Amino acid sequence: MNLSRIKTIQEVTSTKTNRVIYWMQSAQRIHYNHALNYAIELANEKNCPLMVVFNVIPSYKEANRRHYVFMLEGIKEIEHAFRALKIPFKLAFGDPSKNIMAILKQGDLIILDKAYLKHPRSWRNDLYKNIKDQYTMIEVDTELIVPVEVASQKMEYGAYTIRPKLHKQFDAFDDYETLPTYQGKYIELKSDVDLNSIKDFVKTLPIYQDVLETPYFVGGYQEAKKRLKSFIEYKAKNYLDRNAPGEHVTSTLSPYLHFGQIASLEIVHEIKKAKEENLIDQAIFDGIFEQVFVRRELAFNFVYYNHQYDQFEHMTEPWAYLTMDHHQDDYRPHLYTKDQLEKAQTHDPYFNAAMQEMIFSGYMHNYMRMYWAKKIIEWSNSYKEAYEITLYLNNKYFLDGRDPNSYTSVAWNYGRHDRAWTERPILGKLRYMNDKGLERKFDMSKYIKYVESIKK
C-alpha cells in the first residue's frame, strides 16, 4: 500500500500493543479496503489481537428505511465473511460518541477509515478529543484512488484543474494488495443487532419509515460484483451512449460506492482487465475512468475543502450568484410547491417520470438528474428554495444520496465546476436544459416506458 494513504492522528509510544481495533465506517467492505489490510498487518506484526467494529447508528442524519435496509444487507454479508475469515468482528449499536468510545477503549491502537463529509468527520474529531493521548490513532484514506489530501491541498476549480493531478498520481496509488491472513486468535463476538430479519430490525429504528426499500437494489459486495460483471459484459461497450436515459448502459454502482460496499479502485481494475481482453476499447475505458475516478474524486475534493458544501450561500461560484441575483425577479410561467414536485404533479412528463424513477427505484439516470434539477430551478420561487428542495429530494430517495457526489452534483446545477452559458430568462448564465433538447437527442419514449414498468 502507498503509505501516503495513512495519517497518524496521534501516537502513543508504548512497549506493547494489547489490541488493534479497526472502526469500519466509510469502507463497508472486505475487498480493496486499505484500512482493513493495514489493521490486519499491524495486528500480525505486533502479535496482538484484532477487532473490527461496525457501529449501527439508530438514527443517522437524513437516512431512512430505504438506506438502512440497503446498508444492513451489506453489513450482514460482511458479518458472515469475517466469520469465515476468522477475523473477530463486533456489530455494535448506539450513539457513536458514547458507544463506540467504550468499545474503542478496549484497544490501544485504533484504525479508522477516512471521512470526507461533516458528520462522520465530526465523530472522528470527537473521538480524537475524547481519547486523546491514551491511544495511537491512525486514519487510512481508502474510499478514493488518490487520497484527498494528496490529490490537492485546496478546493479545485473544476475537472480540468484536478484531472492532471489525479492522472499523474494514479500509478502510485494503484496499490491494492490481497487481503492478508489474520494470524491472531479468533473469538466470536456477540452482536448487538440481529440481522436475521433486517426489515423487522429496521422497523424498530426511530427513522423515517415511509421511503420503502427498493426491489431494484439489493445491498452488499456480492451484488455490486454481479452488477460490475454484467456492466462489463453487456453494457460497457455502449458506454459512450451513457447520456441516453432509456438505454441503461451505465453501471448503476453508485449506491454501492456510496456505502463503501465496493471500491472505485476495484472497478478501475476490472475495466482495465476488460480493455486488456478487448471487451472494451480505449475510448470506452477513458469514458468510465473519467467518471469513476476524476469526476468522483473532484466531488470529494469539493466537500472536503468547502465546509459549507451544503449551504446555498457557499456552494457555488461568484459569477453564478451574480447571474442568479440578476434573474431573481424574472417572470416564472410555472411554479410548483415542494409537495407538487415530490408527487410528480407537473405539466412535464419527463420531469414526472424522473421523479417517479427516483421514488420507485432509489436511482435516476444521470442525464435525467441534470434535467430534473434544472426544472426545479425554473419552477421555484427562488434559487435558494430550489436548491433546498433538490437536495432534500435527492437525499431522501436516492440510495446514493447524502454522498459527496450529491452535494457536488446539485451544486453543479448552480454553476459549480461548470462555466457561464448564453444568458436566458430565469436560469441566467446557468446551463439550461429543455424537453425539446431531450426529444432531439434521445428516444424519450423508451425512458417513459421504462419508468412505467417500475411503478407499482
Give how far the C-alpha of residue 67 lies from the chain's centroid of Cα atoms, to the nearest Å: 12
Restricted to residues 257-286, the positions that interact with ligand FAD (CB under 6 A) are 257-258
Interstrand relation of 6-10 and 136-140 (parallel, antiparallel or unpaired): antiparallel
C-alpha dist (Å) from residue 305 to 8, 118, 407, 443: 20, 11, 13, 40
Q: Which of 296, 375, 396, 416 binds ligand FAD (CB under 6 A)?
A: 296
- Asked whether position 413 contacts ligand FAD by CB under 6 A, the answer is yes
Measured from the CB atom, the residue of 33 and 250 that comes closer to ligand FAD is 250
Q: Which of 82, 117, 406, 433 binds ligand FAD (CB under 6 A)?
A: 406
Q: Which of 369, 396, 416, 429 binds ligand FAD (CB under 6 A)?
A: 369
Instruction: Give the shortest CB-403-to-ligand FAD separation in angstroms.
Output: 4
Instruction: Give the shortest CB-203-to-ligand FAD separation in angstroms.
Output: 25
Cα separation of 393 and 446, whole Å? Answer: 24
C-alpha dist (Å) from residue 6 to 15, 58, 114, 297, 329: 22, 30, 9, 18, 50
Q: Which of 148, 151, 224, 253 binds ligand FAD (CB under 6 A)?
A: 253
Measured from the CB atom, the residue of 108 and 400 that comes closer to ligand FAD is 400
- Asked whether position 295 contacts ligand FAD by CB under 6 A, the answer is yes
Q: Are 397 and 211 in contact (CB under 8 A)?
A: yes
> Considering only 93-101, 294-302, 322-330, 342-350, which stretch makes contact with ligand FAD by CB under 6 A?
294-302
Instruction: Give the shortest CB-353-to-ligand FAD separation in angstroms.
Output: 15
- Asked whether position 161 contacts ligand FAD by CB under 6 A, the answer is no
Find the helix packing angle between 264-276 and 221-230, rounded to 10°.
30
Measured from the CB atom, the residue of 82 and 231 that comes closer to ligand FAD is 231
Q: Are 358 and 398 in contact (CB under 8 A)?
A: yes
Number of residues that bind ligand FAD (CB under 6 A): 27
Task: Convert residues 372-401 into a mask of x (bound to ligand FAD by CB under 6 A) and - (unbound).
Answer: -x--------------------x---x-xx
Measured from the CB atom, the residue of 202 and 299 that comes closer to ligand FAD is 299
Cα separation of 133 and 348, whole Å? Answer: 59
Instruction: Give the shortest CB-310-to-ligand FAD separation in angstroms.
Output: 12
Which residues of the shown chain bind ligand FAD in the complex (CB under 6 A)? 242, 250-254, 257-258, 291-292, 295-296, 299, 366, 369-370, 373, 394, 398, 400-401, 403, 405-406, 409-410, 413
